């Protein structure tokens, strides 16, 4: 079943005051030896009732592709959770893209998160490979053109602007931000039916982004991506990669405890919970939890947020 259909079905049945719809994200392990441990973790989290779970795509060789493809097949058919696979254009000629899509279709998976992807390590700028695609928009078009309506297609939304357009001052220019919204609408018009956002820590920025999307005619669900802070090192790494704005109050809370893992984790749970509560109070009833393959913080946030677990 498509993620968009599960979300709409759940929300239609729960009403304005009903339970939120939530989902979990995991990343593909680097080694085959780590696959079973991750499947066990996913199995434990699935008992909490996510609408779907998604798995990131790890760029590399065909053998690397196969780790992701084996994982999502087992998630769908052994763990028994509706599964979404990320797919990027990075180092991916069309035949390799279709190899992945054909494989997950044969496994009964109906959900893809279509992304451009990041430049390979050591490469400063994304350059498409010969017979490949240069953008997430191209990938969305290809999936729709070749596979029709079989797949539900999700795309990424960037409440602060894509990292590529965020300036040295930490913000995207008004022009770049408007261009980002227009580009996102083109992806939706090309066949994407769901948006999951990049992580953020300023909830007002996310709510403004949703309103701005509606103003330009984007009507599909926009699901907030929530990253409970589990470690200070992980937080610093991800906010640097994503060029995420860190509110002053978050920096002030983390600085004195950054070397205390337990204190950081507890603060991350508190912050994640408060963000989720504010989002749900705004009328948005969907949450996407970035687990980073960790169980405790993801479950702790949902246990405190009303009507989730």
Residues annotated as catalytic are 25
**In sequence order, what are the residues at sequence separation of 6 or more whose Cβ sits closer than 8 angstroms to the Cβ of residue 288?**
22, 23, 24, 25, 196, 197, 223, 224, 225, 226
Strand order in the sheet with 286-290: 222-223, 194-197, 152-157, 111-115, 83-88, 53-55, 21-26, 286-290, 225-226
Give the separation between CA 163 and CA 297, rounded to whole angstroms: 26
Give the separation between CA 177 and CA 11, rounded to whole angstroms: 30
Report which DSSP code applies to 76: I
Give the separation between CA 127 and CA 129, rounded to whole angstroms: 6
Angstrom CA distances, 264 to 233, 257, 271, 289, 305, stand at 10, 6, 10, 18, 19
- The residues that bridge with 152 in the sheet, in sequence order, are 111
**In sequence order, what are the residues at sequence separation of 6 or more whose Cβ sits closer than 8 angstroms to the Cβ of residue 7?**
21, 51, 194, 221, 223, 286
Give the separation between CA 71 and CA 107, rounded to whole angstroms: 11
Exposed / middle / buried, residue 35 (Cβ in 10 Å: 0-12, 13-18, 19+) = middle
Which of 126, 135, 50 has the alpha carbon at shortest distance from 308? 50
**In sequence order, what are the residues at sequence separation of 6 or more whose Cβ sits closer than 8 angstroms to the Cβ of residue 145?**
none
């Amino acid at each position: 079943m498509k993620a968009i259909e599960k979300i709409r079905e759940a929300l239609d049945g729960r009403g304005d005051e009903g339970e939120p719809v939530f989902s979990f994200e995991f990343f593909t392990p680097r080694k085959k030896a780590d696959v079973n441990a991750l499947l066990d973790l996913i199995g434990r989290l699935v008992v909490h009732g996510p609408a779907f779970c998604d798995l990131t795509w790890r760029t590399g060789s065909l053998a690397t592709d196969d780790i992701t493809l084996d994982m999502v097949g087992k998630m769908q058919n052994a763990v028994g959770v509706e599964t979404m696979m990320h797919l990027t254009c990075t180092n991916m000629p069309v035949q390799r893209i279709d190899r992945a899509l054909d494989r997950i279709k044969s496994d009964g998976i109906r959900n893809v998160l279509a992304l451009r992807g990041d430049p390979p390590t050591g490469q400063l700028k994304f350059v498409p490979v010969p017979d490949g695609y240069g953008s997430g928009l191209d990938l969305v078009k290809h999936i729709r053109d070749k596979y029709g309506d079989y797949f539900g297609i999700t795309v990424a939304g960037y409440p602060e602007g894509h990292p590529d357009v965020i300036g040295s001052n930490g913000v995207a220019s008004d022009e770049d931000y408007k261009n980002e919204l227009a580009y996102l609408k083109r992806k939706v018009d090309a066949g994407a039916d769901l948006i999951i956002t990049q992580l953020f820590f300023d909830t007002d920025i996310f709510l403004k982004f949703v309103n701005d999307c509606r103003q330009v005619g984007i009507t599909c669900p926009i699901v907030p991506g929530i990253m409970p802070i589990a470690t200070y090192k992980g937080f610093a790494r991800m906010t640097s990669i994503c060029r995420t704005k860190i509110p002053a109050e978050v920096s002030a809370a983390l600085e004195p405890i950054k070397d205390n893992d337990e204190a950081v984790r507890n603060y991350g749970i508190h912050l994640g919970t408060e963000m989720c509560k504010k989002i749900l109070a705004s009328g948005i009833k969907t949450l996407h939890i970035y687990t980073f393959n960790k169980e405790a913080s993801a479950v702790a946030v949902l246990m405190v947020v009303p009507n989730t677990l």
